[in-house]
A and B are shown apart, each in its own frame.
Chain A
Amino acid sequence: MHRHVLACLFASLLVPCGFAQDITDPRYGLTAGLFDAGEAIWNLTLVSTVQPPGPFVGVTNSDLAFRDNYVFQGNYNGIIIWDITDPAAPTLVKDYLCPASQSDVSVYGDLLFVSGEGLGGRLDCGTEGVRERVSHDRLRGIRIFDITDVTSPEYVANVQTCRGSHTHSVLKDPDDDENVYIYVSGSAPVRPEEELEGCSGLMPEEDPSTALFRIEVIKVPLSDPAQAAIVSSPRIFEDLEAPPRHGPSPADYEEAEKARAEGRFVVTVRGQPRILRDRQVSAYMRQWMSEEGREGEPSAQDSADFRAALPAFMAARNRARGITRNARRGPTQCHDITLYPEVGLAGGACGGYGLLLDITDPANPVRIQAVADSNFSYWHSATFSNDGTKVLFTDEWGGGGGPKCRPSDPMEWGANAIFTIDESSRMEFQSYYKLPAAQSNLENCVAHNGSLIPVPGRDLFIQSWYQGGISLMDWTDAQNPVEIAYHDRGAVNSERMQSGGSWSVYWYNGLIISSEIARGLDIFRLKPGAFLTENEIAASNTVQYDYFNAQGQPQYAWPATFTLARAYVDQLERGDGLDSEAVTGLRQGLDAAESESDAERKATLESLVPLLSGGSDTARLEALGDVLRQLAGS
């Protein structure tokens, strides 16, 4: 954004390149309330809001998936299934109590997949939680349900993983109709080996099968989903950072023995002896004394006690160093991976990096490139443009529980970052986009989930910002993303911050459907206006999905229709891509042709093609020309 560039001129401020958020926006200062909060809406129509069924009220609503006319809404207490045949009055099909956070959901065919990460999820779906640190009742991983009868999902399988599943992504390989693959993401600490065999949180040198620095890929045979199992654990982070390594020689051991005999301080670091230098001894002793609350100069007693405490002191210190060393190798997991099989790419949002992966071989993704950004705290999720030439990553700064859209919060923090992808699959940064309205300190707000809206010739992204509401961003121009619609409510609680707002919002067959953490399910439609015409909306609605999972991005195409042609004409007019005379001629011609017989229609449409020769927006003119020719049948 231009104003971002301006703000960067004031680099001497405490927060470099910061730009305060807009407090003149109608979304700032809305009254608080659970079901009666103040609302602001622009270029959208709120079609309906339904509250969760009783057992799910007051428990976090999470992600969404779609199939046919059904919405599958995750909730930390299970899954809620809605029928949205009448979007103005969604009906509850099934509420399935089966607690686990975050209950991220995906569908494929007759299967429903649900993520479990939290410590209280049970294999038997019980609501009592799991109190023990090690328990064979605990589920952390993927649950699989058969939804042949959506009114009665059947729980058919679990796949347990070492770090549970914060999110997951379902991959339908275009060349494999017998299986689907699930990429499991999640950065929670590794569970104990006593609970799940083979789980190790050690460094790769110490345990090559460590659960760190890898993702899990589950293969699900569609004919027998109960056989779903992990098929590979690709190390897509390998060599992001190579730590220096050096082992001790026999002479080193000899020297250590000698030092021990002399009464010097010798410690063991990762199984190897190391003689402490005097300076280290003194520094460590001071630190140990400080931790123990001992004061003054070290006495002989302090020194003797320190010698006794040294192994434990060094173990704690080494553990901290191990964490540092781990971190140095790059991320140990991803938060989310968006798979785009039609272009053979995936976008991995992984710790401090955004990754571009080649997924041509579904079980063995390969990293193509990794980008980092000093303004990004935590890479959360990715979405590609439909043509695969751009990708946007979100930064869930603070994990979604913080109010990061206050007037003083910088516009580059907790934002989206937009990259172009060139022909050799290299990503290049273009711009940031953050919700352009300030929010109060009672509203958790940061970039979160969203999806494309298939308006032809443009890249539109509808996105959740938690209690910042939902925002529709036009990122056709990667360097200048702009907002063209929004909806927002005031805070859930007027006294202190309480988690709420839109977790996910996705476009599904003409509807914009939002999972509201505290309030339920909202359904919106686009409203025509200066930035989006009725024809553009109608053209987007010619795209129809049978099912939709945001983390498995589908490629869409528009059937050649009069609506599509009119949408392009509207865009040429808005962007001054064609003179007004040609625009009028095209509109009249399209109206005439639509009501004509086949032969007349062909002649009329072909007569319109020459009108396209004078314009400047070549790509759009070519697209329109193609539609005219297809409609003409020539």
Chain B
Amino acid sequence: MQTASLRLPAILILLWSPGLLLAQGSMEELEALYWARQKEAMSHFTQADVDFMTGMIGHHAQALIMSRLAPANGASTAIRTLAARIINAQNDEIELMQNWLRDREQAVPQVHIDGLNLMMHGGGDHGHHMPGMLTQEQLEELSAAQGMEFDRLFLTYMIQHHAGAVTMVEDLFAVDGAAQDEAAYKLASSIHVDQITEIARMQQMLDDFANQSQ
């Protein structure tokens, strides 16, 4: 983290002189400096970053609910591949976001999924009012769909859902001081570009369905 940096315990500042460092800094001292800087970098964040992580955990969790339906609802191979990749990607990102919050001594939402019901504990009341989130009615509609109808609805709703995540990143970037933290910037940027890319892929799949059924 760029702004990190220059506020460290005095003993570590001694290590900054390059000549001194390589010649005399022991590996133990270097390692101490490394961890001190990692820790220090965790102090540059805003409430907007915290809200983003907290909200995105809930947002991602709903993508898991949707994607887990695919195998039992007779989804096509292409949709099952897509759903499996979304599960893999968003599970990992939930863990990253939980770690991010924990490292910064913030409340960490825990995700509990029971069928179509999402329960979040420990992280405040976030997750249900995020852009792009499906309503419970939409979730039930998706859950009731089978085969080709499931495929079509899954794509439609996941595009809606992803577009909401993209909006959340753009909103985050529009806040003074937000996403300055290196880990937050990287995570938010990755979500932004990955989900835009995935929306394009899903839109293409949806267009292909429409063409096939004509």
Q: Mark A352-373, 1 if CB is under 8 A from B, else 0.
A: 1000000000000000000010
Chain B contacts of A401 at CB under 8 A? 96, 186-187, 190
B106 located at the interface, meaning its Cβ lies under 8 Å from any Cβ of chain A in the complex: no
In whole angstroms, how far apart are the Cα atoms of A375 and B143 in the complex?
A: 26
Which has the most chain B C-beta neighbours within 10 Å: A118, A192, A401? A118
Nearest CB of chain A from residue B28's CB, rounded to whole Å: 9
B193 x A99 contact (CB < 8 A): no
Q: Which of B5, B128, B159, B169 contacts A55 (CB 8 A)?
A: B5
Q: Given contacts A324-B163, A398-B92, A497-B99, is CB(A54)–CB(B25) below 8 Å?
A: yes
Q: Which of B30, B81, B176, B192 contacts A57 (CB 8 A)?
A: B30
B190 x A120 contact (CB < 8 A): no
Binds B, one of A104-112, A128-136, A615-623: A128-136
B43 located at the interface, meaning its Cβ lies under 8 Å from any Cβ of chain A in the complex: no
A121 located at the interface, meaning its Cβ lies under 8 Å from any Cβ of chain B in the complex: yes
Chain A contacts of B37 at CB under 8 A? 57-59
In whole angstroms, how far apart are the Cα atoms of A352 and B37 in the complex?
A: 36
B136 x A290 contact (CB < 8 A): yes
B185 x A323 contact (CB < 8 A): no
B167 x A496 contact (CB < 8 A): no
B93 x A402 contact (CB < 8 A): yes
A43 located at the interface, meaning its Cβ lies under 8 Å from any Cβ of chain B in the complex: no
B209 located at the interface, meaning its Cβ lies under 8 Å from any Cβ of chain A in the complex: no
B194 x A377 contact (CB < 8 A): yes
Q: Given contacts A54-B25, A324-B159, A402-B96, is CB(A120)–CB(B3) below 8 Å?
A: yes
A352 x B189 contact (CB < 8 A): no
Nearest CB of chain A from residue B107's CB, rounded to whole Å: 18
B74 located at the interface, meaning its Cβ lies under 8 Å from any Cβ of chain A in the complex: no
In whole angstroms, how far apart are the Cα atoms of A139 and B40 in the complex?
A: 23
Chain A contacts of B96 at CB under 8 A? 401-402, 497
Chain A contacts of B9 at CB under 8 A? none
Binds A, one of B14-22, B54-62, B145-153: B14-22
B16 x A351 contact (CB < 8 A): no
B126 located at the interface, meaning its Cβ lies under 8 Å from any Cβ of chain A in the complex: no
B36 x A58 contact (CB < 8 A): yes
B190 x A316 contact (CB < 8 A): no
B132 located at the interface, meaning its Cβ lies under 8 Å from any Cβ of chain A in the complex: yes
Counting contact residues on chain A (CB < 8 A from B), the size range is 35 or more
A14 located at the interface, meaning its Cβ lies under 8 Å from any Cβ of chain B in the complex: yes
B179 located at the interface, meaning its Cβ lies under 8 Å from any Cβ of chain A in the complex: yes
Q: Given contacts A101-B185, A127-B3, A496-B99, is CB(A57)–CB(B177) below 8 Å?
A: no
B15 x A54 contact (CB < 8 A): yes
In whole angstroms, how far apart are the Cα atoms of A402 and B95 in the complex?
A: 10
Which has the most chain B C-beta neighbours within 10 Å: A54, A132, A316, A398? A54
B3 x A352 contact (CB < 8 A): no
Q: Given contacts A11-B77, A374-B81, is CB(A133)–CB(B99) below 8 Å?
A: no
A351 x B5 contact (CB < 8 A): no
Chain A contacts of B128 at CB under 8 A? 291, 293
Nearest CB of chain A from residue B133's CB, rounded to whole Å: 8
Chain A contacts of B201 at CB under 8 A? 352, 372, 374
Chain B contacts of A287 at CB under 8 A? 135, 138
In whole angstroms, how far apart are the Cα atoms of A192 and B21 in the complex?
A: 41
A127 x B80 contact (CB < 8 A): no
A270 located at the interface, meaning its Cβ lies under 8 Å from any Cβ of chain B in the complex: no
Nearest CB of chain A from residue B71's CB, rounded to whole Å: 6
B200 x A330 contact (CB < 8 A): yes
B16 x A55 contact (CB < 8 A): yes
Chain B contacts of A51 at CB under 8 A? 22, 27, 30
In whole angstroms, how far apart are the Cα atoms of A498 and B71 in the complex?
A: 33
A58 x B196 contact (CB < 8 A): no
Nearest CB of chain B from residue A507's CB, rounded to whole Å: 26
B5 x A16 contact (CB < 8 A): no
Chain B contacts of A156 at CB under 8 A? none
A95 located at the interface, meaning its Cβ lies under 8 Å from any Cβ of chain B in the complex: yes
Chain B contacts of A326 at CB under 8 A? 196
A–B Cβ pairs within 8 angstroms, 24 of them: A14-B71, A57-B15, A58-B4, A59-B2, A60-B182, A100-B2, A101-B2, A131-B177, A133-B175, A187-B189, A188-B189, A320-B131, A320-B166, A324-B160, A327-B199, A335-B193, A351-B196, A352-B201, A377-B85, A377-B194, A378-B197, A398-B89, A399-B187, A413-B88
Known: A101-B182, A372-B201, A374-B201. 7 other contacts (CB 8 A): A57-B30, A57-B34, A57-B37, A329-B200, A377-B197, A401-B190, A409-B88
Closest 8 CB pairs of A and B: A58-B37, A399-B190, A99-B2, A129-B3, A54-B16, A327-B199, A320-B163, A327-B200
